[in-house]
Amino acid sequence: MTTRSRQKLRTRRALLTAARQILDEGRTPTLADAAERALVSRATVYRYFSSQEALLEELQLDLDFPDEDVLFGTESPPASAADRVSLVRRELYDFVIRNELQYRVFLRNWLDHRLKRPAGDEVETRGARRECLLDRALEPFEVTLGPSTFTRLKIALGVMVGVESMIVLKDIYGLEREQAEEIMDWAVRTLVTAALDSGD
């Protein structure tokens, strides 16, 4: 992730944190409220969220997202790289299924936001939450993998463990949950094993 990408991610996180604080105070956060609390301009907040509805939808997803400290901060987290990544895959699939309708609305709003931007205008990236989980899962194996393989593996896994893969498995292939999970677990384990065998 580039320095600019990290800065964008920090801004997005600051806006969501501000919105969560306002919600905890018993108020429904507006874009202006979130911008003021996060110390950014109103123009900036509109680069990340097209409307109050979009902010609230992502905030709800953010509140329910798996916590990396809960997954890997226990006394006996999974030991192998394949088991650690499989845990992330399972938790993210459960998360998407729990929030399927809301996640589809979130994706629709995100695509609408992109389409409404002027041609050539840079659109801010999404939250990169899965990247944080995969970073934590693969962290003990970063040296073994080497920097290039570590980065390639994390990106490839990011394609496989999110809502997009669930939509493909469900909408295109018509798979039931058990079938979909079996295939995705096989896929991520195979990829991790191949990456560890190759390294940089």
107 with 176, same domain? Answer: yes
Residue type, 103: Y
Q: What is the pLDDT of residues 86-110, one digit of tens each?
A: 999 999 999 988 888 888 887 887 7
Q: What is the pLDDT of residues 153-165, one digit of tens each?
A: 999 999 999 888 9
| Total domains present in the chain | 2
Q: Which domain holds residue 20?
A: 1-64
List alpha helices for the chain, DSSP H. Answer: 3-24, 31-38, 42-48, 52-64, 68-72, 81-98, 100-116, 129-138, 142-145, 147-160, 163-167, 177-198
91 with 154, same domain? Answer: yes
52 burial level (CB within 10 Å; 0-12, 13-18, 19+): middle
Q: What is the Cα–Cα distance from 43 to 37, expressed in whole angstroms?
A: 14
Q: What is the pLDDT of residues 21-62, one digit of tens each?
A: 998 898 999 999 999 999 999 989 988 888 898 888 888 888
Cβ partners under 8 Å of residue 168, min gap 6: none
79 with 167, same domain? Answer: yes
pTM of the model: 0.78
